[in-house]
Amino acid sequence: LMTSTEDLARELRHAGALLLRAGVSTDVGLALTSCFMCLEGTLLDPAATANIQSRLIEAVAYRIGTSAADRAKLRREVKELYNIRSRYVHTGDAGPLAWTSPRERSLEIVSRVLRREIEEAAL
């Protein structure tokens, strides 16, 4: 994947760079923005622009969820994290955070998704 010129390999390398950018950012809003850019680029068809949030939430839930309960929890978390990201993108302020560590949780979710994508691409 590191040297391949195939589209999937390039997409995964770009997603990895976004994850690294999120990982070094101390700004919660910037970290979440990079995380969601990584998820959108990895999981969503760029030609379909409708219902991005709902499609992304479902994609994450089914990509890494291990049970119905786990998928429901992921849906709630990704929705809340996406809302924090949206507030930051549209206002420049992440707002009062209900979570003590939205940056860390988003990094964990994105890492799991990207790891799964890389493992499947390597098969």
pLDDT tens digits, 40-84: 999 998 888 889 999 999 999 999 999 999 999 999 999 999 999
What is the pLDDT, as a whole number, of residue 99?
A: 56
Residue 20 has pLDDT above 90, yes or no: yes
3-class DSSP assignment, residue 5: coil
**Around Cβ 82, how many Cβ atoms within 10 Å?**
21
pTM of the predicted model over 0.75: yes
Q: Residue 97 has what pLDDT?
A: 67
Q: Give the model's confidence band at 1: pLDDT under 50 very low, under 70 low, under 90 confident, else very high.
A: low
Question: What distances in angstroms separate CA 76 from CA 13, 19, 47, 65, 70, one per listed residue?
Answer: 28, 21, 26, 12, 10
34 or 98, higher pLDDT: 34
Average pLDDT of the residues of the chain: 90
Q: What's the pLDDT score for residue 98?
A: 56
Q: Which residues of 32-63 are buried (b: 16+ CB within 10 A; e: fewer)?
A: bbbbbbbbbebbeeeeeeeeeeebbbbbbbeb
pLDDT at position 19 is: 96
